[in-house]
Each structure stands twice: as C-alpha cells, then as structure tokens.
Amino acid sequence: MSSPRILLTGATGFLGGTVAAQLLDQKRWAQVLLLVRAPSPAEAHARLVKSLQRFEVGEKLLKKISPAQIISGGLDALPTVAEDPRLATVTHVVNCAAVTSFGQNPNTWPTNVVQTAAFARKVAEFPRLERFIHVSTAMICGATPPHVVQEDTYPAEGVRHLVGYTGSKAAAETLLRKELAGKPLVIVRPSIIVGHTRLGCKPSGSIFWGFRMADALRRVTCDLDAIVDVIPVDYAATALLHVLDATRLEHPTYHISAGRDYSSSFRQIGRAFARALGEKRATDYRRVTYQDVAALQDQFMELFGPGNKRSMLAAARLYGTFAGLNTVFDNHRLLATGVAPPPPFADYLGVCVETSRDIPIARQMMVDFE
C-alpha cells in the first residue's frame, strides 16, 4: 500500500511552518507537496527554506526540500494549476494558509473566506482524497463565550467577533461545510498559540507580547484566577498531524487546546514570569480597569519600548479583552484519539521570556498587526 500523498498549505507561516518542520524530519517527506505563495517554484523554494530556518532546521534537512515538491502560488493559485498531475495523487490535504492579522488587513476576508472556499472546491475534486484538514481557530466563539466551549456549539449565528480574523474563520467554516458536503472534511481549531516549548519566541513572538505587557505593568484587567487556554505551536503541529494520520475519526471537528485541566491562570503566569526573570515579588499582579491602564500610557515607552502610544494602548485593550474571557476549549475529543495532553503555558513560559529579552514589546507585537 502506497504512502499518503500530502498537500500542505501555509508552510511559511507559524503553525504551517512547524508542521512542515516536523514532516521534514520524517521518512514520508518525499510524499509531501507544498503550495507556497511566490511567483515561481524557485522563489517559493527560497522563501520556504528561509522560513524553516526560524525553527532551527539544519542544513541537512533543508537540502531535502526539492523544488519539484512545490507548487508556486497562494490559495487562489490552485484553480489555475488544477491539471497538475501531482495533484491527482494527493490523498491528504492540510490547509494552514490564512491571514492571521488582528489589524485591518484588507486581505483577511479575501484569503480566509473567498480564496479558501475556491481552494476547497478544487480539493473536493481530487480523485484520491481521503482527508481534508482545515485549520480554523477556537476563537470563533466570539466576544461572549461560555466558560467551557464545546466543538459543536460554533460557528453560530449572531456572534460578535473581537477581530475580523476570527469572523473570517467562522464564515470559512460555514462555507466549507457546504462546499465539501459528503467529503472527508475535518476542521481543527487550535486555541491561543503562543511560543514553542524548545525555541520559545524565536520562530514568532505572536501574542506573547500581550503577556509581556501585563507583566511589565504588573496589572491585569481580569481576575487573577481567571484561566487562559494557551498551547505551544509544536504541540499544535504534533496534534494536527496525529489527527491527519488517525485511521478513524469519530468527529468532524476537534479543538487542539489546553482545556480545563492544562490551562494556566494569570496568577500562575505572573509567578512564572517572576521565576524566569529571577525576581522575588512580594505580591501578585493587581487587578485594574482598562481606564487604569490608559492612565499609565505616559510610561508605555519606558515599559514597552519605543512605539506609538495610541497603538500600544489599543493593543493592550485588545489583549485585555481576550484575556478577560476566562474561556477554555474542551479537548476531550482530541485526547480520546491518543494525543498526549499539552504542557501548561506557565511551564514553558520561561523559554519564551529568554528568547524575547532583546526584543522591545512594542516591536514584538507588530507581528500580529501586519
């Protein structure tokens, strides 16, 4: 029996890059095709290699990447290359491609909804398709979720989203269920991805800047015992590949998350920062209001590094809103497939601190607002 042929999108991103790095170190790498946004396969190859270097992939492994494995273009390119004979051999698709910006990026809806739907229509035509995994986000639950979010509750009508990104992901899920009706579609929803257990923030400082802000202020706008569902990117990638490889799946949707048992509270996070920074603190964070944080904006440059005070305040408000949800994403489905539980954020936070020391908070946050 031949090995599955995998088509991976988003390999130059944070999660997709981690998936690519893990596949690159496996025997089945020769069976992987990659859709990479670039004008030509040669340029796509160069872009992919540069991206994977963020994950400290060695030169020996990087040399395994062949331009013949690459289809150049974004999600919108697949309809124009649908006759590529390599696609006829694809059995498994992992779609990690997305615009993940929290800002007003004009490409968010076109990429995450319109192009994703067009991509899905072509994938549905693959003659050997056995599984199509689409990466969404657990944050499609919006601004007022319950404390414990179940997979089947969302996407739901009338949800108010905190950022356009999560709204686009919710819309994409609804479209894909329609476009791939009767097809082997599986949606995975990672919770909040922060850092890497071994590399910390070297590959990306996404979202970690928010926790750094709270620690620099020694203040949070939520209860200190509120918990936040955070997972490292390498755990998310490992779990995703486990779902990809599972012989049989009982459900069409899976949270990749910390869940109730492996999430960390802000009290635990504050103490983890203190340990990582070698500080002895007499007290935990203080709980304050957003107005209290706004009153400190004249100190932002000193606390967060050079940057625009208004932008930093807006980012702090957005982070505080997400942090204050006190929401966890049920992960019993995932654990039932045999995936190991994730490490709590507080347990690997020190690696993220160490790899962020020389990066101003204001600069680190820009990765999420491009």
Task: Return d(Cα 62, Cα 59) in angstroms, integer.
Answer: 5
Q: What integer pLDDT is reported at residue 84 of this predicted model?
A: 86
**For residues 314-338, average pLDDT:** 95
84-141: pLDDT as tens digits? 889 999 999 999 999 999 999 999 999 999 999 999 999 999 999 999 999 999 999 9
| 2, pLDDT greater than 60 | no
| 1, pLDDT greater than 50 | no
Q: Does 155 sit behind a cis peptide bond, omega within 30 degrees of 0 on the bond before it?
A: yes
Name residues whose C-beta falls within 8 Å of residue 332's C-beta, 6 or more positions apart in sequence: 259
Flag whether the pTM goes above 0.85: yes
First to last CA, the chain: 44
Task: Return d(Cα 331, Cα 113) in angstroms, integer.
Answer: 26
Nearest CA-CA partner of 151 in 185, 180, 189: 189
CA distances in angstroms from 183 to 98, 130, 293, 324, listed in the order given: 22, 8, 49, 38
CA distances in angstroms from 215 to 77, 225, 235, 289, listed in the order given: 43, 15, 25, 15
Q: What integer pLDDT is reported at residue 136 of this predicted model?
A: 98
What average pLDDT does the chain have? 95
| 30, pLDDT greater than 70 | yes
| Strands 70-72 vs 32-36: parallel, antiparallel or unpaired | parallel
Q: What integer pLDDT is reported at residue 238 of this predicted model?
A: 98
CA distances in angstroms from 82 to 91, 97, 118, 151, 295, listed in the order given: 15, 18, 11, 32, 56
Q: Which two tokens stand for residue 230?
A: 């955070």
Q: What integer pLDDT is reported at residue 235 of this predicted model?
A: 98
Domains of the chain: 6-196+229-262+327-342 (3.40.50.720)
225-241: pLDDT as tens digits? 999 999 999 999 999 99
CA distances in angstroms from 358 to 2, 68, 176, 355, listed in the order given: 48, 39, 42, 8
Q: Are 160 and 144 in contact (CB under 8 A)?
A: yes
Q: Which two tokens stand for residue 285?
A: 């964070």
| 65, pLDDT greater than 50 | yes
